Amino acid sequence: MALRPANPTTATGRAFEGAFEAGLSVAVGVVLGYYADRWLGTEPFLLFFFLIIGSIAGFRRLLRIGVPTDTGPSDADGDEDRGKSG
């Protein structure tokens, strides 16, 4: 049993999913960096490091959501080479 559909059915759903996941990945990076800095006493280096890692993860997820998957033939109408001989 899947907990969420493979692809949202609307553009609004995709936009909400992208915004939520990008924001969450940045927030998780900041929290991890903050507590790692407090634990190791390396303020603010790990905060910036995990902030950058979280931002990269968020942008990567946004790019994956925005790029359509190739499910059809590579040419526009799909029958360019049909019926041609030699």
Residue-by-residue pLDDT tens, the chain, 86 positions? 667 666 556 878 888 888 899 999 999 999 999 999 999 998 899 999 999 999 999 999 888 887 766 665 555 555 555 555 55
Q: pTM of the full predicted structure?
A: 0.65
Q: What is the CA angle 79-85-86, rounded to 5? A: 120
Question: Going by C-beta distance under 8 Å and a sequence separation of 6 or more, which residues neighbour residue 16?
Answer: 8
What is the phi-psi region of residue 12: left when phi exceeds 0, alpha when psi lies from -120 to 50, beta otherwise? alpha
The residue written with tokens 């939520």 in the block is 20
How far is 16 from 8, CA to CA, in rounded Å?
Answer: 10
Which of 49, 46, 67 is closest to 57 using CA atoms? 49
Cα 28 from chain centroid (whole Å): 15
